[in-house]
């Protein structure tokens, strides 16, 4: 029986959305307040969904303690209270939009969570703005 189990997590991080090849004015036109050259923070809320079959022996789909540990190692420790542009290698040359952060998190967790499971990353940048990524290429 297929089901999705979810683990919620949280991190605070600073970012700036901008293109180096654009002026500050153009960056402000496109990215608004998120282009502030001196950075600003968000309280990111993360929901990691793991989709798979329930193990009839345990009644578990996956042990959420393991998912919790992967989120800690792959997301909370490297991202929490960090400046994403300056301190996180994945964003040296990648704009840290909610979309791109979700893809980076998905790829990091995909390398940890066994391949028999599908995974889905939901990332809230604000209580009203969020993205969902489940690994599709189109
Ligand atoms: Ni922002």
At 90-113, the pLDDT tens digits run 999 999 999 999 999 999 999 999
Residue positions annotated with a catalytic role: 34, 81, 125
pLDDT-derived band at 7 (thresholds 50, 70, 90) equals very high
Judge whether 45 and 124 are in contact, CB under 8 Å.
yes
64 Cα–ligand 1 center, Å: 30
- The CA 49 to ligand 1 mean position distance, Å, reads 24
Residues 6+ apart with CB under 8 A from 22: 30
Say which residue the tokens 């809230």 belong to: 124
**For 22-76, what is each residue's pLDDT tens digit?**
999 999 999 999 999 999 999 999 999 999 999 999 999 999 999 999 999 999 9
Cβ–Cβ contacts within 10 Å for residue 92, how many? 10
Q: What is the pLDDT of residue 138?
A: 56
Say how far apart CA 132 and CA 130 lie, in whole Å: 7
Ligand 1 center–CA 62 separation, angstroms:
33
């Amino acid at each position: 029986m297929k089901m999705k189990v979810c683990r919620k997590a949280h991190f605070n991080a600073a970012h700036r959305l901008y293109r180096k090849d654009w002026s500050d004015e153009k960056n402000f036109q496109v990215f608004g307040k998120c282009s502030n050259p001196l950075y600003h923070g968000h309280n990111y809320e993360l929901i990691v969904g793991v989709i798979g079959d329930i193990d009839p022996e345990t009644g578990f789909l996956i042990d959420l303690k393991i998912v919790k540990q992967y989120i800690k190692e792959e997301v909370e420790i490297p991202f929490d209270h960090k400046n994403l542009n300056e301190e996180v290698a994945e964003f040296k040359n990648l704009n840290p939009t909610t979309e791109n952060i979700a893809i980076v998190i998905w790829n990091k967790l995909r390398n940890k969570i066994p391949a028999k499971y599908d995974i889905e990353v939901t990332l809230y940048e604000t209580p009203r703005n969020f993205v969902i990524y489940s690994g599709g290429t189109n």
